[in-house]
């Protein structure tokens, strides 16, 4: 994480200077920050979050910082403060049954990784902030779209796994129609 990323992130703390001093002493130290000041955070189940992160990355979609909490098995995506309505609107355009998520804004807090977490730390950056993210109206759109697409992809993969217990069975079903487990 860059110095400008640290400055932006610590601005959400009750005492930004104290937060930066704590990180100067221990750059691995997680910190609890208020959401709604400098950023909002959308959190989802880790499996869905990692797939969404991968899809956003591979497709070159605009998105900001992202983190993972390994113990609670959640991934958080940072959005510009006040993005709730935009995110919900685009999520609603994609599906009538959105995947479960939590939107953290005013009067919420999030624990963020320190600027330099190590492998094995509970909190880690998937994409650390390098500076104050520019306001980009496409970020909530990209996150909502890829969140729904990733949920559908995972559901389809799970359904495939339930229906086809082995690769042989999948090929047999595809080429000849349904077969029994014995065949």
Structure confidence by residue, pLDDT tens digits, 45-86: 999 999 999 999 999 999 999 999 999 999 999 999 999 999
Q: Per residue, what are the HEC states of 104-138?
A: ECCCCEEEECCCCCCCCCCEEEEECCCCCCCCCCH
Hey, what are 178's tokens?
A: 């349904």
Q: Which tens digits make up the pLDDT trace of 9-26? A: 999 999 999 999 999 999
Q: Which tens digits make up the pLDDT trace of 123-168? A: 999 999 987 766 788 999 999 999 999 999 999 988 887 877 776 6
């Amino acid at each position: 994480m860059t110095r400008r990323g640290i400055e932006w992130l610590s601005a959400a703390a009750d005492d930004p200077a104290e937060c930066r001093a704590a990180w100067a002493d221990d750059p691995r130290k997680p910190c609890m920050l208020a959401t709604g000041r400098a950023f909002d955070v959308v959190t989802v189940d880790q499996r869905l979050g990692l797939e969404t992160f991968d899809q956003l990355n591979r497709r070159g979609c605009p998105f900001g910082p992202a983190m993972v909490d390994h113990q609670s098995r959640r991934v958080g995506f940072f959005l510009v403060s006040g993005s709730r309505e935009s995110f919900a609107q685009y999520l609603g355009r994609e599906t009538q049954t959105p995947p479960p998520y939590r939107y953290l804004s005013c009067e919420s807090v999030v624990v963020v990784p320190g600027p330099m977490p190590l492998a094995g730390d509970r909190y880690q950056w998937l994409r650390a902030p390098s500076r104050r993210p520019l306001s980009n109206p496409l970020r909530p759109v990209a996150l909502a779209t890829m969140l729904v697409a990733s949920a559908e992809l995972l559901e389809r993969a799970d359904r495939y796994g339930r229906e086809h217990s082995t690769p042989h069975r999948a090929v047999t079903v595809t080429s000849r129609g349904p077969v029994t487990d014995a065949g």
